[in-house]
Structure 1
Amino acid sequence: MRQSTTSRRLGAAALIAALAVTGLSACFPNPADLVEQGVEDAVEGATGGDVSLGGELPDGFPDSVALVDGDITFAAGAGGSEGWIVMIASTAADPVADAAAKLEAAGFTEDTTLSGEGASAVVYSNGEYFVLVAGEGEAVSYTVTPQTK
């Protein structure tokens, strides 16, 4: 009789362990999501700003800054006088030219053009914000800072 009770206890323990592992594995997020969230939290904690490693604009990003079509791959900003940074992967034939055209259509005027081998950058302003648009290949970055008056 003693063997029977021990066997039942071992069987019950094995069943509980199997159910716990199966149930808990569904509760844990994808490891890549954990890393992304950890990086976002670390940067936000260090800077006091809002950070996204894909998909979302930071809090307070100005609506007047027209962005090139594409996927947001990185976004950060403390807003206010600190400004914002947004990086976009675009499928446009010339992403920087497309970004420049969108800014001009939104009322921005070109201040300065900088160019280098394989990369280019343009500075725009609208009286409220300076926008540095830089790109290489399909990557376009926006650095937006409020103009001081």
Structure 2
Amino acid sequence: VLDRHCRCNSTRGYSGRKIARDGGSKSYGRRRVSSEKCDVFSGKWVFDNASYPLYNESDCPYMSDQLACHKHGRNDLGYQHWRWQPHDCNLKRWNVKEMWEKLRGKRLMFVGDSLNRGQWISMVCLLQSVIPADKRSMSPNAHLTIFRAEV
């Protein structure tokens, strides 16, 4: 749970320079660990064409029709390249394996309306990408949908 009055210490700095990766392709600099205080609630949305989107909706078997924008004719995919940028620091890039380690032995519950449902499905799409199909399942019913995975 994020407390907006608490300062986050697990932040990363960003070098901003271009670096070469395997294959000689160029991408924006790596983010470095920073011990500075960071107010993650103070920032802005920035366009990031280099490292986003984090998943493709067509690769997620749990994507529902009402949330599948591209499947239903949305040609403008630019909305997928935005990320939150705090003013005084950089957030660590999403790492699905790290998230699974944090969730190991725990349960994560989303409660809310259709907006929360969209966030829930997006989280499932992010998490399922590293789990073999025979080790994961989704059990929907009228009021509760459960995603299970053997990690």
TM norm structure 1? 0.26
Between 1 and 2, higher relative CO (CA 8 Å, sep ≥ 6) is seen in 2
Give the structure-2-normalised TM-score.
0.25
Would you tell me which structure has more helix in proportion to its own residues? 1
Question: Highest CA radius of gyration, 1 or 2?
Answer: 1
